[in-house]
Amino acid sequence: MKAVRLFCLVSALTFVHVGCQKRRAAAERVAITPVSKDVMLGRTPLHSAPNRKVCKRLIDQGADVNATDSFGMTPLHTAVIRNHIEAVELLIAAGAEIDARSNRGQTPLFWAVTQGRRWIMTRLITVGADVNASDDYGMTPLHWAVINANQEAIRLLIAKGADINARAKNGKTPLSAAKDRGHVDIVELLSLQGAKY
pLDDT, residue 23, reads: 52
User: Predicted confidence band at 50 (pLDDT cuts at 50, 70, 90)?
Assistant: confident
Q: By CB neighbour count within 10 A (0-12 exposed, 13-18 middle, 19+ buried), where does 56 fall? A: middle
Q: Of 4-13, 14-23, 42-51, give the lowest mean pLDDT range.
A: 4-13
Q: What is the mean pLDDT of residues 133-139?
A: 98
Percent of the chain at pLDDT above 70?
Answer: 80
**DSSP one-letter string for 47-109:** HH--SHHHHHHHHHTT--TT---TTS--HHHHHHHTT-HHHHHHHHHTT--TT---TTS--HH
Over 90: is that where the pLDDT of 89 sits?
yes
> pTM for the complete prediction?
0.83
The Cα 78–Cα 47 span in angstroms is 6
Contact (CB, 8 A) for 113 and 148: yes
Checking if the pLDDT of 18 tops 70, the result is: no
| CA atoms lying within 13 Å on the CB side of residue 117 | 23
Task: Say if residues 140 and 163 touch (Cβ distance below 8 Å).
Answer: yes
Question: How far is C-alpha 10 from the chain's CA centre?
Answer: 27
- Report the pLDDT averaged over residues 175-190: 97
Domains identified in the chain and CATH numbers: 1-97 (1.25.40.20), 107-197 (1.25.40.20)
3-state helix, strand, coil in the chain (%, to 5): 50, 0, 50
